[in-house]
Amino acid sequence: MIASIADAINWALGLNAQQLNFWQMGLRAATIYVAALIMIRMVGDRRFIGKYAAFDVVLSIIFGSTLSRAINGTSAFFETIFASFILVVMHWLFSAIAFYFSRFESKIKGRSRVLIKDGQLCHQAMRACHITREDLASTLRLQCQIDQLERVEKARLERNGEISFSLRAKLTGSEQ
According to the model, what pLDDT value does residue 47 have?
Answer: 46
Whether residue 136 lies inside any domain: the answer is yes
Whether residue 173 lies inside any domain: the answer is no
Is it the case that residue 76 has pLDDT exceeding 90? no
According to the model, what pLDDT value does residue 46 have?
Answer: 46
Please state, as a whole number, how many other Cβ atoms lie within 10 Å of the Cβ of residue 171: 12
Do 149 and 68 share a domain, yes or no?
Answer: no
Whether residue 41 lies inside any domain: the answer is yes
Do 76 and 22 share a domain, yes or no?
Answer: yes
The string of pLDDT tens digits covering residues 26-63 is: 788 778 877 876 776 666 544 455 455 667 777 788 88
Whether the model clears a pTM of 0.75, i.e. scores above it, the answer is no
Q: How confident is the model at residue 140 (pLDDT cuts 50, 70, 90)?
A: very high
Do 123 and 95 share a domain, yes or no?
Answer: no
b/e burial code for range 140-153 (CB count within 10 A of at least 16 → b): beeeeeeebbebbe
Do 51 and 72 share a domain, yes or no?
Answer: yes
According to the model, what pLDDT value does residue 41 have?
Answer: 62
What's the domain count of the chain?
Answer: 2
Range of the domain at 148: 112-167
List, as one string, the DSSP characters of 16-40.
T-SS--HHHHHHHHHHHHHHHHHHH
Instruction: Give the chain's mean pLDDT.
Output: 83
Do 71 and 138 share a domain, yes or no?
Answer: no
Do 102 and 158 share a domain, yes or no?
Answer: no
The string of pLDDT tens digits covering residues 53-73 is: 667 777 788 888 988 988 888
